[in-house]
């Protein structure tokens, strides 16, 4: 009589085999084989470009021109006045040394599209069917599901990063994002539940990546609001931990302005 | 009074506020509460080094040059990520270390300040990263 191996140990061997296969894959392959159609070359660590203040990125000097500054939002007049008044109020209080309390102080993440400005370095992971972007600041994560449609705005549970669907069109990853929480406001610009963010992401040479951002929101905007962000590859950069809630030394929001808590 | 708040408590306190992003220099908060131009330099002894996000803090005792009375200072630094990128290490300071700092104090006169530059006992000098601005005095 042939001795049958118990089910349990067969499962254990399969697990072991899987572990071995994964362990012998090239580092950074994230379960996808090199040359797979899933890997289009945007994976890896990136810093925003052109370089900003020391410590925010690699410190490498600029080598090509950066994108134009982000224009003011084309808000409808009824919203523009309020937006400009708020900008002036914040500037005035800040000049007095009493900057208003912000969401960042409460460790709330930037959300979309702010998390793509590259406050700190970011990491792009390409895996079959998905592109994942991790921003070091606030440990923000967004998942872009490939080759499927974004949900209808009314079906999209509001989130900080919204819901993103992407499709490669030639060398460009076109990503549509909906379902951003109404109080997640890039540059303090209000938006409706129907706001749609379209990003056109592509490599520029091997070292740079461009992200053409378009915000569509006919309820608030007279025209699409568009700008371009650029990133520079940072080979070998290992993302750092950012647990913002670790240190609540800082301010008493009840005061209504930012103030170091001195004990 | 020490405030104890969970994230939910903070979020509730900030409930009417929008999540505003778009200032690349400051991930967490503004440095506007500090003197915009005034910088001072003093030496003292580290009593606590707290290496954590969103900001690193140094506490130090500083003896008044004239009276000899000790004043306890709280020194705000950038976050661990920025500091690592400009050469700091999580274990480069500990209580008892003698340090010299150049700082911008709070505008309201309290003994807390934004670091511009630190010199350790071995003479090595570090900035607080670009967003905090450079030291403008020697």
pLDDT in tens, chain B (138 residues): 333 333 333 333 333 345 555 543 455 778 888 999 999 999 999 999 999 999 999 999 999 888 889 999 999 999 999 999 999 999 999 999 999 999 999 988 889 999 999 999 999 999 999 999 999 998
Residues 6+ apart with CB under 8 A from A56: A47, A48, A119, A120, B24, B25, B82, B85, B129, B130, B131
The confidence score (pLDDT) of residue B64 equals 85
**DSSP secondary structure, B50-98, as one string:** E--SS--EEEEEEE-TTT--EEEEEEE---HHHHHHTT--TTS--TT-E
How far is Cα B34 from Cα A98, in angstroms, rounded to an integer? 9
Closest to B19 measured CA to CA, from A80, A162, A238 = A162
Q: Indicate the pairing of strand A44-49 with strand A122-127.
A: antiparallel
How far is Cα A243 from Cα B55, in angstroms, rounded to an integer? 10
pTM of the entire structure? 0.82
Please list every residue in chain B whose beta carbon sits closer than 8 Å to the beta carbon of residue A190.
18
Nearest neighbour of B7 by CB, restricted to A186, A242, A245: A245
How far is Cα B123 from Cα A18, in angstroms, rounded to an integer? 53
How far is Cα A51 from Cα B96, in angstroms, rounded to an integer? 37
Average predicted confidence (pLDDT) for chain B? 84
In the stretch 73-102 of chain B, residues with CB closer than 8 A to chain A read 74, 76, 78-86
The confidence score (pLDDT) of residue B6 equals 38
Picking from A48, A51, A53 by the largest number of B CB atoms within 10 A of its own CB, the best residue to mutate is A53
The confidence score (pLDDT) of residue A60 equals 95
Do the Cβ atoms of B127 and A248 come within 8 Å?
no
Q: Is the dihedral of CA A98, A103, A105, A109 positive or negative?
A: negative
Burial of B100 (0-12, 13-18, 19+ CB in 10 A): middle
In the stretch 37-56 of chain B, residues with CB closer than 8 A to chain A read 50, 52-55
Please list every residue in chain B whose beta carbon sits closer than 8 Å to the beta carbon of residue A161.
none
CA distances (Å), B122 to each of A108, B56, B98, in order?
Answer: 39, 21, 9
Minimum distance, in Å, between the CA of residue A185 and any CA atom of chain B: 5
pLDDT < 50: residue spans in chain A: 1-32
How far is Cα B113 from Cα B105, in angstroms, rounded to an integer? 4
Which residue of B lies nearest to A182 if distances are taken between CA atoms?
Answer: B18
Establish if B105 touches chain A: CB-CB under 8 angstroms: no
Q: Does ipTM top 0.85?
A: no
């Amino acid at each position: 009589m042939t001795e049958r191996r118990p089910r349990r140990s067969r499962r254990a061997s399969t697990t072991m085999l899987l572990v071995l296969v994964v362990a012998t894959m090239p580092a950074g392959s994230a379960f996808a084989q090199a040359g797979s159609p899933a890997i289009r070359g945007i994976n890896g660590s990136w810093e925003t470009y052109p370089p900003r203040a020391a410590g925010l990125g690699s410190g490498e000097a600029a080598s090509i021109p950066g994108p134009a500054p982000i224009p003011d939002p084309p808000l409808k007049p009824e919203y523009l006045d309020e937006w400009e008044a708020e900008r002036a109020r914040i500037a005035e209080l800040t000049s007095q040394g009493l900057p208003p309390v912000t969401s960042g102080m409460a460790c709330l993440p930037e959300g979309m599209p702010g998390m793509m400005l590259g406050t700190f370095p970011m990491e792009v992971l390409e895996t079959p069917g998905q592109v994942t972007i991790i921003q070091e600041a606030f440990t923000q994560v967004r998942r872009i599901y490939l080759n499927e449609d974004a949900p209808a705005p009314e079906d999209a549970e509001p989130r900080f990063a919204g819901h993103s669907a992407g499709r490669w069109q030639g060398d460009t990853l076109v990503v549509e994002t909906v379902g951003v929480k109404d109080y997640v406001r890039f540059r303090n610009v209000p938006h409706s539940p129907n706001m749609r963010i379209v990003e056109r992401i592509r490599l520029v040479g091997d070292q740079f990546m461009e992200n053409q951002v378009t915000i569509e929101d006919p309820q608030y905007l007279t025209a699409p609001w568009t700008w371009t962000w650029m990133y520079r590859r940072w080979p070998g950069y290992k993302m750092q931990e950012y647990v913002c809630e670790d240190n609540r030394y800082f301010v008493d929001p009840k005061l209504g302005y930012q103030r170091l808590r001195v004990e | 009074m020490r405030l104890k708040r969970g994230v939910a408590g903070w979020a509730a306190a900030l409930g009417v506020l929008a999540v505003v992003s778009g200032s690349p220099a400051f991930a967490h908060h503004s440095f506007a509460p500090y003197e915009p131009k005034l910088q001072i330099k003093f030496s003292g002894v580290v009593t606590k080094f707290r290496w954590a996000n969103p900001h690193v803090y140094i506490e130090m005792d500083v003896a008044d040059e004239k009276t000899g009375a000790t004043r306890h200072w709280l020194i705000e630094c950038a976050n661990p990520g920025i500091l690592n990128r400009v050469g700091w290490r999580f274990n480069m300071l500990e209580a008892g270390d003698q340090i010299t700092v150049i700082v911008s104090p709070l505008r309201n006169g309290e003994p807390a300040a934004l670091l511009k530059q630190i010199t350790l006992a071995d003479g090595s000098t570090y900035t607080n990263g670009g967003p905090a601005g450079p030291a403008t005095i020697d």
